[in-house]
Amino acid sequence: MRRNRNVKIVATLGPASDGYEMIRDLFLAGADVFRLNMSHGSHDDIRQRHKLIRQIEEEMERPICILADLQGPKLRCGEFADGPYELEEGASFRFDLDEAPGDASRVRLPHPEIFAALQPGSTLLVNDGKIRLKVTDCSPEHADTVVEVGGEISNRKGVNVPDVVLPLAALSDKDRKDLEFVCELGVDWLALSFVQRAEDMHEARELAAGRAAVLAKIEKPAAVKAFPEILDASDGIMVARGDLGVELPVQAVPPIQKRLVRGCRAVGKPVIVATQMMESMIAAPVPTRAEVSDVAQAIYEGADAVMLSAESAAGDYPVEAVRTMNAVAEEVESDEIYRQILEAARTPSRERVADAITVAAREVAETTNVKAICCFTHSGTTAKLASRERPRVPIIALTPMIDTARRLTLTWGLHCVVVNNRVERFKMAVVNAARAARNYGFASEDDRIVVTAGIPFNTPGSTNILRVAPVQERAIYEGEPE
């Protein structure tokens, strides 16, 4: 099985997409990566979903990527005696550590670390930004505010602090337990919420200990400011536009999305564009035109993946949402303007031999009648470098490592194939590449492919050889002119 597009689709699993048949239908409709949201569901629920995905992977004989999304610390106010209450613009309101039920003038905020970071003039957002308050006075035990934008406040509503870096670790106690559970279970990627600084990623990477790749969710203004350092410390990035749109002016989100996608492309790390991509399909069988344009824009930018959240996890039309996203991707990628945009945004990189080899592979493929670029990879580096080039021909990533194949499934344009034996000679790499190109319909006996690899084999980052090879196996062995 192969996709007729390069961008990948991430589908979140939940109550609407729990069983074997539904997950299988989502895969057949176009889902390449399944997201397990650790904010919802027990460990038993997560374990069962993981098991079903791996069963479908075995049945389909195609690597499937599993991404576990950690919840992160949740900042919420306390409970009210008789609420909800309506906060009027210009009114005074206090947050404090008092455990007494709240009323129209105050409520508990059980996070002393917030009070430690606040200053007069800081902004507090409540209930996904629907209520905006400005701090007028604060201490380690309280914050007095004035209501700038009013609205209804009720029990345990979320609180955002957009303009200060909070002295909070991105990993809560729950996250640490969840991280260990999913790493032992065998997920391929970890998504870390509430990232504010590169140190958050260093901690997550240390705990993962190589068992899963680590992805930073960019959802706070502090993370946008520290993005170069966070990107350097991460294996990938998720542009989590929902929380960004709460903590920043909504008009700031599109240019931020473009900058983050381009930054990831420049260094060859996968980037997912997420949140509210087809939100209306939670309750409707077709998306709005604006949502289709939003998905298309992320694809035009060259994002590695686009993501469905509640649309596939809790909506009424999960399969239709994936199928629609797949159709949008195929349509966009058939547009010549798509190629022009991708190529205009390409960042030249020839610092290493591996960079030069992958650039040359793309140029050879695009200037001769070559049907595919085949990358032999152990760690995934060779394939990710090929993907960074965004070539016009398909990329086949061949590896003896099932874990590598699964992780690479998130990356733009990669069709991942697990070879059954470790390859020690380059000629056998070419033979395996030719077989994969034929078997998956990328090329016929009369065609040619580009093969890249690193010699010696099984050495990460050693890409140093390129060959234009015939697909016909007899020609490879006989050394006929290529």
CATH number of the domain encompassing residue 127:
2.40.33.10
Are 247 and 392 part of one and the same domain? no
Are 97 and 185 part of one and the same domain? no
pLDDT in tens, 198-214: 999 999 999 999 999 99
Are 324 and 252 part of one and the same domain? yes
- Answer yes or no: 35 catalytic: yes
In this structure, what CATH number is given to the domain that contains residue 234?
A: 3.20.20.60
Q: Is residue 192 part of a domain?
A: yes
Residue 479: the pLDDT is 60
pLDDT in tens, 213-272: 999 999 999 999 999 999 999 999 999 999 999 999 999 999 999 999 999 999 999 999
**Which tokens hold the place of 402?**
């099932």
Are 201 and 286 part of one and the same domain? yes
Q: Is residue 35 part of a domain?
A: yes
CA distance 270 to 384: 8
Question: Residues 5, 49, 217, 384: which is the catalytic one?
Answer: 217
Number of domains in the chain: 3
Residue 368: the pLDDT is 92
Residue 311: the pLDDT is 97
Q: What is the mean pLDDT of each run of 10 residues along the chain (482 residues)?
A: 94 96 98 97 96 98 97 94 93 97 96 94 94 97 97 95 91 97 98 96 97 97 97 98 92 97 96 96 98 98 98 97 98 97 84 88 93 94 94 96 97 95 79 94 95 80 87 74 41
Residue 93: the pLDDT is 98
Q: Is residue 100 part of a domain?
A: yes
Residue 481: the pLDDT is 41
Are 238 and 273 part of one and the same domain? yes
Residue 426: the pLDDT is 84
At 30, the amino acid letter reads G
Are 55 and 196 part of one and the same domain? yes
Residue 482: the pLDDT is 41
Are 194 and 287 part of one and the same domain? yes
Are 175 and 281 part of one and the same domain? yes
Question: Residues 3, 47, 74, 76: which is the catalytic one?
Answer: 76
- Segment (H or E) for 156: none
Dihedrals phi, psi of 28, to nearest 5 degrees: -65, -30
Question: Residues 5, 8, 12, 35: which is the catalytic one?
Answer: 35
Q: Which residues of 205-220 are buried (b: 16+ CB within 10 A; e: fewer)?
A: bebbeebbbbbbbbbb
**Which tokens hold the place of 217?**
């969710």
**DSSP label at residue 237:** E
Are 302 and 186 part of one and the same domain? yes
- Answer yes or no: 76 catalytic: yes
Structural domain span for residue 449: 353-478
Q: Of 160, 179, 211, which residue sits at a domain end?
A: 160
CA distance 219 to 138: 26
Residue 475: the pLDDT is 76
Residue 480: the pLDDT is 46
Q: Is residue 345 part of a domain?
A: no
Q: Provide the β-strand partners of residue 96.
A: 108, 142
Question: Residues 12, 123, 275, 324: which is the catalytic one?
Answer: 275
